Structure 1
Amino acid sequence: MNSVLKIILQRLALGLLTLFIVSIVIFTAVNMLPGDFAEAILGQGATPEAVASIRRDLGLDQHPIVRYFDWLSGALRGDLGNSFAQANFASFVGDDSGVRVSVAQQIAPRFANTMFLAGVTAAIAVPFAVMLGILAALYRNSVFDKVANISTLTSISSPEFFLAYVLILFLAVLNPVLPSLSNIYEGMGFGERLQKTMLPALTLTLVVTAHMMRMTRAAIINLLASPYIEMARLKGIKPMRVIIKHALPNALAPIINVVALNLAYLITGVVVVEVVFVYPGIGQLFVDSVKIRDIPVVQACCLIFAAAYILLNLTADILSILSNPRLRHPK
């Protein structure tokens, strides 16, 4: 158990180091964008005094290294700064009547919406993909297996926006079963929210199911030639029971990895789907903030995406370690 704990601590330390490096890349990339942020906020008719005042108020006149560590220390405390776009600009030029909106206040409801979308998608995609992979392994080289592989390969090869528009055509236009736009708002009932989220959730399900199904199928087929599987078959155990009780538990490590990676995609890769369905999530907020150059929000969204991806990768590593009996019970 000490060796397992040591490996887990090493993974956590590596994850923190990766997140630190990614934060440097995010800050550097955003600050390398052409143009002056203060002039972009105030417009072309801004006076030099107003530009200098807002640059001083925002700390843009400081050295980039100082600004980076101020941003990083604030992020560690949960303070991601103030949104440029949502503020009353009078507050930036010395007028106390101005109102500033923190980035955390702006991101929190959007992030909750994205997590709801990811949760609905995961609840549909994970059991569906695993069961589809089990059936494809059980009936490998059959018509069902070939159709499943062709379908998943087509799904992997199709971009998200294409699948989204196909679903809109068939489920919202030709057969108006689900709404084409996801108008989510605060206080909406669970049933109505679920209905409006279903179409983007089905789009993401088509994208992530393919990877999980193919990995489940490959991992199980790889174990079917093992001696203990042959022994179970010789005892007369039903093929489905052999796969579920004997093969699947030993194939969990690669399956957990691919499931965690696809769950990370559900949080970090929803930008295109949220834009297509106008879903009020963090991906839509990120695109809108890039358009209006709301730099604190862009940096915060990128940091959240990176942290979620790294965290879920760490979770996959740790669960893979814990699912390995040779690591849990060393000789």
Structure 2
Amino acid sequence: MNDVVKIIFKRLGLGLVTLLVISVIIFSAVEMLPGDIAQAVLGQGATKENVAAMREQLGLDRPAVVRYFEWLGNAVTGDFGHSLVSQKQVSSAISERFANTLFLALYAAVIAVPVAILLGVLTALWRNTPFDRVANVATLTSISSPEFFLGYILILFLSVKTGYFPSLAKINAEMGFFEKLERMFLPALTMVLVVVAHMMRMTRSAIINLLASPYIEMARLKGVPGWRIITHHALPNAWAPIINVIALNLAYLVTGVVLVEVVFVFPGIGQMLVDSVTKRDFPVVQACCLIFAATFILLNLAADVGAILTNPRLRHPK
């Protein structure tokens, strides 16, 4: 157990270092953008005095290094400053949007994970059959297609032509739970089609590799049915790579929703990021990018810890 705790703290430390480097990149990228932020906020008709006053208000008259450490220190406490457009607290504006994004990612994960594991088990059980070939072609097609393309295809066939689901995923706090699920089905299905292929193929590959093990051969010689060999012998020993790939895809579900949210006009943090870039609302852009990075690093850490806890060889590397 002490080895596991040490590994977790080591991974956590590396994650914090990575997040620190990413924060430097985010701040530097905004600093290197062409044009004057104060001039962009006030418009071309602003006087020099107004621009100078805005630069002082935004702290642009101070060195970039000083502003970076001040921004980082405030970000650690959850204070990302004020929006240049709405003048509202960035943290309060992001919180509701981020909650919507997490809800959408959870919705997609609840569908994708059991479907991917079931398809992985079935394709491993019926390897080299027509079902296996069709499943592999279908999943390869979905994972190779861009999210926005899949989104528009689903809108065309499930909304425009049939009217089964709304094409826009606009939700608000007054809506009921099931009404939200209905409005969010198409963006959730788009994300499911993107991630389920990777999880399914990893599950299939892990189980097929284990089917060549001696204890599997012994079970076959004893006359154990094929489905029982997979569910009771192969699948439990394949959880380490499966959990790892599931956690990585959950990270993608949270951080890779930008295009999906834009296509379906979903009020999440991805849509907010795109709107803020368009309006040059840089405090919001920096906050969204940092939150995406922190979420991705945290879920990658969860993937590493899950793989370690389910694999004794990783818990005791010696």
Bin of the TM-score, shorter chain as denominator length: over 0.9
Query: SS state of the match for residue 283, structure 1?
Result: helix
Query: SS state of the match for residue 215, structure 2?
Result: helix
1:261 aligns with 2:248: yes
CA apart distance, 1:327: 4.3
1:297 aligns with 2:269: no
CA distance in 2, matches of 1:145, 1:130: 14
Tell me the alpha carbon deviations over residues 82-110 of structure 1, each in whole angstroms, 9 at most, x when there is no partner: 111112xxxxxxxxxxxxx1001110111
CA apart distance, 1:328: 4.5
Alignment check: 8 A CA contact 1:274 1:283 kept: yes
Tell me the alpha carbon deviations over residues 146-175 of structure 1, each in whole angstroms, 9 at most, x when there is no partner: 000000110111111111111111100111
1:157 aligns with 2:144: yes
Structure 1: 4+ residue segments shifted above 6 A: none
CA distance in 2, matches of 1:189, 1:269: 26
The aligned residue for residue 102 of structure 1 is 89
| Equivalent residue letter for 1:116 | F
1:21 aligns with 2:8: no
| Equivalent residue letter for 2:36 | D
Alignment check: 8 A CA contact 2:3 2:316 kept: no
1:191 aligns with 2:186: no
CA apart distance, 1:329: 6.6
CA distance in 1, matches of 2:103, 2:79: 24
| Equivalent residue letter for 2:80 | L
CA apart distance, 1:283: 0.4
CA apart distance, 1:140: 0.4
Match of 1:123 among 80, 105, 110: 110
CA apart distance, 1:232: 1.5
Tell me the alpha carbon deviations over residues 275-306 of structure 1, each in whole angstroms, 9 at most, x when there is no partner: 00000100000000000000000000000110
The aligned residue for residue 66 of structure 2 is 66
| Equivalent residue letter for 2:102 | M
Match of 2:166 among 165, 174, 179: 179
Tell me the alpha carbon deviations over residues 310-331 of structure 1, each in whole angstroms, 9 at most, x when there is no partner: 0000000001000012344789
1:200 aligns with 2:200: no
Q: Counterparts of 1:229-308 in structure 2 under 5 Å?
A: 229-308=216-295
| Equivalent residue letter for 1:30 | V
Tell me the alpha carbon deviations over residues 22-66 of structure 1, each in whole angstroms, 9 at most, x when there is no partner: 100010011110011101111111011111111111111110000
CA distance in 1, matches of 2:45, 2:142: 50
The aligned residue for residue 80 of structure 1 is 80
The aligned residue for residue 51 of structure 1 is 51
CA apart distance, 1:180: 0.2
CA distance in 2, matches of 1:329, 1:218: 25
Match of 1:313 among 267, 284, 300: 300
Taking structure 1 as the reference length, the TM-score comes to 0.94
CA apart distance, 1:250: 1.2
**Once structures 1 and 2 are overlaid, which stretch shifts more, 131-140 or 3-12?**
3-12
- Ranges in structure 1 where 5+ consecutive residues have no aligned partner: 88-100
CA distance in 2, matches of 1:169, 1:105: 35
Alignment check: 8 A CA contact 1:126 1:212 kept: yes
Kindly report the root-mean-square deviation, in angstroms, between the aligned alpha carbons of the 2 structures: 1.1
CA apart distance, 1:234: 1.8
Taking structure 2 as the reference length, the TM-score comes to 0.98
The aligned residue for residue 197 of structure 2 is 210
Alignment check: 8 A CA contact 1:3 1:327 kept: no
Alignment check: 8 A CA contact 1:178 1:198 kept: yes
Alignment check: 8 A CA contact 1:137 1:220 kept: yes
CA distance in 2, matches of 1:85, 1:238: 64
- For this pair of structures, how many residues does the alignment match? 318
| Equivalent residue letter for 2:140 | L
Tell me the alpha carbon deviations over residues 167-193 of structure 1, each in whole angstroms, 9 at most, x when there is no partner: 111100111100000111122110111
Alignment check: 8 A CA contact 2:171 2:183 kept: yes
CA distance in 2, matches of 1:204, 1:325: 33
CA distance in 2, matches of 1:120, 1:196: 12
Percent identity between matched residues is 66
CA distance in 1, matches of 2:27, 2:150: 33
| Equivalent residue letter for 1:65 | V
| Equivalent residue letter for 2:9 | L
1:3 aligns with 2:6: no
